[in-house]
Amino acid sequence: MTSDFVRIVNSPNGEIAGLLDSINGRKGKGAFFLCVASSESSDIEGISAAGASPELRRFTPSIDAEALVTGSPAGGAELPVSPTGVVSPVVITRACTNLAGFGITVVDCGTFKTPDLPDVKRIGKGGAKCVSTGTAQNYEDVRELFYAGLEIGGQVSADVEYVIMGECVPAGTTTALGVLTALGVNASGLVSSSLQQTDHGTKGRLVSEGLKSASLSLAEIQELPLKAVSAVGDPMQPFVAGFALAASTKIPVILGGGSQMLAVYALTQSLLKSNMKALDRSKEHRISVITTKWVVDDKSANVGELARMIGAPFACACPNFRLSRHEGLRSYEDGNVKEGVAAGASMVAAHIAGGASPGEIVEAIDRTYDEMVPSRV
């Protein structure tokens, strides 16, 4: 099927059209996983809008997870806002996961603070160090996250018809640039950002310092792609890669995000080309990436070109937030925040699987905004 609400950015073999057909009208038949993680890279000013300060950004993953599941952060905390005051995209995702009839699972892949929720799957061993260190994570910890993803992805694929993997990782576009570069992808200047203007200089400097310190050859990384994540990545990446590779041989897997999930897609393809024995290469892996139009249209980035470079099936949701009653949502149309918590993928699921019209989606997001941020405009 086709839809004006969903723009196909890259789909060389018709993968996106096939995906939309497979989830059409399947309300309540999918699963939503929010995979949260932290990196000390988010302490660097100017590369993340996922929180108004370095201190607050360390709490953003847990707060977003709590708000997505319960409607409000634990302990009376406020929702994360960007340095310019624009509220977290968790508002969008909560409204749209309800429209699509999703059950939600939260996975703590490695944060500075585990979400205060009763059913969190805590797999990681804490947040990553800054990518500039070249030793962001212990390699064995990365392997454990990957194999946990393989196991859980295999289990989930037996119970649902499709799955969306969302993320909340402050500074995740910087770790995405790190992993893409380590894998041999020339992503300089291509990755997007939660800020209106992407600071490619700072991101590139941090990644260059990290890769220089890591001293890994491309041949080493091609043999062991998880070494890239260990050097300059974050804890979300290996878990989601493992989950996607296991589940996608049985059901469609949607990676909900922009630059960050394109990096995970590139990681899955590198793993499939490696000698890792745990992977099933006998079947097609149905993995797509879906984001928002604000990421695709980001004039300070070029994620469409990035998707084409790595061969990722890639699409975006195209809502009109100018119709919103809230300035905090209309600001998205000016390039603020853009994406997060699988906002784009959840809007596509609400429309295609849930049957909600574009107008109904904006109305539902407005109502959820009223409930979650009553003190904001």
The pLDDT confidence band at residue 127, using thresholds 50, 70 and 90, is very high
71-85, 174-188, 192-206, range with greatest mean pLDDT: 174-188
Give percent above pLDDT 70 in the chain.
94
- State how far the Cα of 276 lies from the Cα of 242, in Å rounded to an integer: 12
Show the tokens assigned to 178.
Answer: 């790190």
Report the chain's mean pLDDT, rounded to a whole number.
92
Helix axes 358-372, 90-100, angle to 10 degrees: 120
Helix axes 259-273, 303-310, angle to 10 degrees: 10
CB neighbour burial string for 73-107, b if at least 16 within 10 angstroms, e if fewer: beeeebbbbbbeebbbbbbbbbbbbbbbbbebbbb
| Over residues 130-142, mean pLDDT | 97
Give percent above pLDDT 90 in the chain.
79
CA angle 78, 82, 85 (to 5 degrees): 75
Report pLDDT digits (tens) over 34-60.
999 999 998 787 656 555 566 677 888
> Is residue 3 predicted with pLDDT exceeding 90?
no
Show the tokens assigned to 292.
Answer: 């928002």
Show the tokens assigned to 41.
Answer: 């890279």
Note the pLDDT of residue 157. 93
Note the pLDDT of residue 1. 56
- Centroid of chain to Cα 155: 21
- State how far the Cα of 71 lies from the Cα of 215, in Å rounded to an integer: 45
Contact 164, 32 (CB under 8 A): yes
Return the bridge partners of 128, or none. 39
Contact 27, 100 (CB under 8 A): yes
> Is residue 204 predicted with pLDDT exceeding 90?
no
CB neighbour burial string for 200-238, b if at least 16 within 10 angstroms, e if fewer: beebbebbbbbbeebebeeeebbebbbbbbbbbbbbbbb
Show the tokens assigned to 210.
Answer: 């990290």
Which CATH fold topology does 6-372 show? Rossmann fold (3.40.50)
Report pLDDT digits (tens) over 225-264.
999 999 999 999 999 999 999 999 999 999 999 999 999 9
> Is residue 377 predicted with pLDDT exceeding 60?
no
> Is residue 6 predicted with pLDDT exceeding 80?
yes
> Is residue 194 predicted with pLDDT exceeding 50?
yes
Determine which of 275-284, 307-316, 361-370 has the lowest per-residue pLDDT on average.
275-284
Nearest by Cα to 43 from 112, 122, 146, 144: 112
